[in-house]
């Protein structure tokens, strides 16, 4: 996979920074989570409702969901502006998936037992998996990104287990702690990869501009 020379590194830096802010909001959501919020102990990822984890925690949770859309949108724009064709599908599907999660959080609010809730959650899960799959394929095609491909593959397995946990639990709720944890891990992986790509690009352009 050939990395193009970036014509707009600034947009990439903003995207990476927004990724770190997204992760920070999730950490703050956990720190301010009401201790009385119920966690169900299972061998699978824990299941809890972050939107009702206390006012401060809920605020950071909603900011986290908002920043997911901002981050994925900036990454998608960065890939398109710099003609990084290998990431077009991955970034686009990831943006659509997070946008759908945003709509489910702020607008498309249904009863958790209703058919509409199950359908919207199913569409979101499908789009999210497609986005992760495209990222996985792209990382596998780059030998230097194989460690990130391995981490992303583990994330996909954890995501599927978390979804199955909700499907077979007494109350079907998505996102749950497992899917959110995977989301944070994915944001971290993508941010670190693009940060590494930006550093590599800066070094390459510096060497090309150095008189021989």
Give residue-wise pLDDT tens across range 85-117. Answer: 889 999 999 999 999 999 888 887 667 677 888
**Tens of pLDDT, residues 114-131:** 788 888 889 999 999 999
For the chain, 212 residues long, give each residue's pLDDT as a single digit of tens. 455 567 778 888 999 999 999 999 999 998 887 765 545 434 444 456 666 667 888 899 999 999 999 999 999 999 998 888 889 999 999 999 999 999 888 887 667 677 888 888 899 999 999 999 999 999 999 888 899 999 999 999 999 998 998 888 767 778 888 899 999 999 999 999 999 988 887 776 666 666 65
Buried b (16+ CB within 10 A) or exposed e, 156-170: bebbeebbebbeeee
Question: How many C-alpha atoms does 146 have within 13 Å on its Cβ side?
Answer: 2
* Residue 160: partners with Cβ closer than 8 Å, 6 or more residues away: 129
Structural tokens at position 60: 């950071």
Which tokens in the block code for residue 23? 């992760």
With a CB cutoff of 8 Å and minimum separation 6, the contacts of 146 are 139, 140
> Is 65 buried (19+), middle (13-18) or exposed (0-12) by CB count in 10 A?
buried
Cα Rg of the chain, angstroms: 18
pTM of the entire predicted model: 0.86
C-alpha span between 26 and 185 (Å, rounded): 11
């Amino acid at each position: 996979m050939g990395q193009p020379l970036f014509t707009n590194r600034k947009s990439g830096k903003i995207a990476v920074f927004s990724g770190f802010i997204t992760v920070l909001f999730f950490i703050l959501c956990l720190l301010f989570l009401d201790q009385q919020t119920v966690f169900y102990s299972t061998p699978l990822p824990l299941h809890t409702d972050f939107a009702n984890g206390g006012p401060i925690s809920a605020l950071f949770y909603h900011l986290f969901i908002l920043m997911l859309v901002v981050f994925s949108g900036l990454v998608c724009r960065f890939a398109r502006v710099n003609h990084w064709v290998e990431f077009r599908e991955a970034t686009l599907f990831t943006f659509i998936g997070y946008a759908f999660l945003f709509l489910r959080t702020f607008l498309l609010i249904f009863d958790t037992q209703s058919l509409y809730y199950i359908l919207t959650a199913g569409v979101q899960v499908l789009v999210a998996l497609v986005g992760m799959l495209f990222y996985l394929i792209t990382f596998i095609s780059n030998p230097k990104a194989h460690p990130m491909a391995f981490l992303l593959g583990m994330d996909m397995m954890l995501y599927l287990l978390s979804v199955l946990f909700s499907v077979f639990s007494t109350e079907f709720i998505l996102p749950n702690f497992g899917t959110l944890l995977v989301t944070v891990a994915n944001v971290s992986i993508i941010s670190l990869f693009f940060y590494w790509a930006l550093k590599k690009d800066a070094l390459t352009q510096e060497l090309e501009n150095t008189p021989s």
